């Protein structure tokens, strides 16, 4: 007598992807319009976030005033970021839409020259201008910031 064997049941192949939840991209934290308690543009705030993540940055100050005691006085020049990584790096953030005409660029160059006269004797580097279009993502600004120092 022959023993009957039932055939092994066949199962459809298991697709692991169907049983897993797709990882969601990290939601970007909403912009607040502030850096160190002072009003900031989106680009300035995104740049500040990049600085905060960079281990090479020891500290930074936002919107420091030079050349006069207060921002509203004649001769006052506002520096967007004073970044310390060992040497100090004065950084100005320029949006394409606010710094595009020749008169504004000439005014910026004069202010940079005056800031250099004040800050270079203290051991700072020359003023760096970061020109952005306003369409950059946080990741793109992180890359720009990483290349600066």
Span 60-73, pLDDT tens digits = 999 999 999 888 89
Residue 25 lies in a domain: no
> What is the pLDDT, as a whole number, of residue 46?
96
The structural domain count of the chain equals 1
* DSSP classification of residue 30: P
Return the CATH number at 115: 3.40.1350
Residue 27 lies in a domain: no
DSSP string, 96-122: TTTS-SHHHHHHHHHHHHHHHHHHGGG
Residue 130 lies in a domain: yes
Residues 90-145 have pLDDT tens digits of 999 998 777 678 888 899 999 999 999 999 999 999 999 999 988 899 999 999 99
Residue 83 lies in a domain: yes
**8 A C-beta contact, residue 89 and residue 124:** yes
**Where residue 54 falls among pLDDT bands split at 50, 70, 90?**
very high
| Segments forming the whole domain that contains residue 115 | 33-148
Residue 8 lies in a domain: no
Residues 71-98 have pLDDT tens digits of 889 889 999 999 999 999 999 999 877 7
Cα 111 from Cα 75, distance rounded (Å): 10
Residue 132 lies in a domain: yes
**Where residue 13 falls among pLDDT bands split at 50, 70, 90?**
low
């Amino acid at each position: 007598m022959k023993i009957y064997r039932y055939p092994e049941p066949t199962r459809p192949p298991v697709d692991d992807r169907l049983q897993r939840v797709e990882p969601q991209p990290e939601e970007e934290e909403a912009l607040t319009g502030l850096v160190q308690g002072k009003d900031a543009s989106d680009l300035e705030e995104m740049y500040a976030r990049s600085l905060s993540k960079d281990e090479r940055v020891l500290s930074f100050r936002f919107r420091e005033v030079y050349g006069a005691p207060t921002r509203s006085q004649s001769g006052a020049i506002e520096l967007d970021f004073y970044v310390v990584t060992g040497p100090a790096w004065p950084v100005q953030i320029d949006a394409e839409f606010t710094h595009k005409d020749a008169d504004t660029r000439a005014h910026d160059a004069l202010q940079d020259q005056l800031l250099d006269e004040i800050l270079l004797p203290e051991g700072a580097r020359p003023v760096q201008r970061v020109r952005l279009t306003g369409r950059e993502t946080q990741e793109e600004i992180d890359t720009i910031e990483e290349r600066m120092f």
